[in-house]
Amino acid sequence: MISYLPALAAVALAGAASASVTPNADIFTALLNTNQTAGAPTWAPPAQEVTPVVAASNTSDIVATAGQTSDAQRRAFPGYNKGNIVMRGMTDKAVYNKLPFTVDSTAAVQMPAYLTYKVVSNTTSASKAQQECFNFCDATNGCKSINMYTETGNPLLDHVFSEQSNRKCVLFGDVPTASQFTNRGGQQLYENGPTNAISNSIAFASSSSLFEVDTPAGTNLTFAPQLGDKTQYGATQTGKYLTYQFITRYDPEACNDFCKSVTGCNFFNIWRGEVNGAAVTYTCSLYSEGTDGSTATNKGDDVNHVVVTYSRGYKLVA
């Protein structure tokens, strides 16, 4: 179980509304101003531990967006620890399908819920490289999609990392849309050299989707979307509201920990916020009393193209 930081409750309560009814209009406004976009960072080593789910700010300040680089990062780059990633058992293998739209093969994915990445050998065939990436996703908690691509013009890939390969396998805890293929390189990573570039970008979605998540221990699931209908329920709109917080991935366990850290919380609603069809952030709203799907009625903001998806409700039990 994630230890969901006392600081998180303090952050959330500081922004809580005084009204007892969920201020979903205010949450939608905050959602429009959040930026949790990330991807495989240019200067971070591969196969690092997946960062725990944490509270997300309403800006990109806490998010290491792919492509951000500094001279200090170049000077201070340490050796790296291979194999430090948090793994899960590989008894259940997912099925992987290409995304059902044309992707920009010259751009890598940048979106919320970035997990980690690894480097696959340049000498491996395309089919074996894909299988290696699928296995990596199968073994990584929360993996829902992968983005594979070639990055040239990166001295760490060329000379520092032991794999000495420029083929990346990047994992995410959500599935991208076409609009989230945005990292086209363009950074001068070699001194006086050419800028880096992305090519051969391809993405696959795992059959382990957000429709299938575990119910946290000590809770009862009161409503959840049926397979294939991510908008079946909206955000909970009822009295006895306490507070809310954006988090960095869709994780009911993290919301459960958040609820237990807030005095009087007995129910929480988790949902994913989309803008123009793309995932933006993940919301935990807390309540002092339980409810069911009959109050999960606020499905978004048509004017600003905000849609509530994958909404679930959980009641804490003794």
* pLDDT for position 109: 97
Which of 143, 108, 111, 106 is CA-nearest to residue 37?
Answer: 111
* pLDDT for position 162: 84
10/178 Cα distance (integer angstroms): 36
Q: What is the pLDDT along the chain (318 residues), one digit of tens a residue?
A: 333 333 344 344 434 444 467 898 899 999 999 889 899 988 788 988 898 899 986 543 322 223 333 333 333 333 333 333 344 444 468 999 999 999 999 999 999 999 999 999 999 899 999 999 999 999 999 999 999 999 999 998 988 888 889 999 999 999 999 999 999 999 888 888 889 999 999 999 999 999 989 999 999 999 999 999 999 999 999 989 999 999 999 999 999 999 999 999 999 999 999 999 999 999 999 999 999 999 999 999 999 999 999 999 999 997
Q: DSSP of 61-90, one letter per residue?
A: TT---TT---HHHHHH-----TT-S-B---
The CA-CA-CA angle for residues 2, 61, 150, to 5°, reads 85
* pLDDT for position 19: 46
* pLDDT for position 92: 67
81/96 Cα distance (integer angstroms): 28
Phi, psi angle pair for 199, to nearest 5°: -150, 165
Identity of the residue numbered 61: D
The CA-CA-CA angle for residues 208, 210, 216, to 5°, reads 100
10 Cβ contact partners less than 8 Å away, ≥ 6 residues apart: none
pTM: 0.84
Domain residue limits, the chain: 6-32+211-316, 71-206
Query: For residues 112 and 31, is the Cβ–Cβ distance under 8 A?
Result: no
* pLDDT for position 58: 55
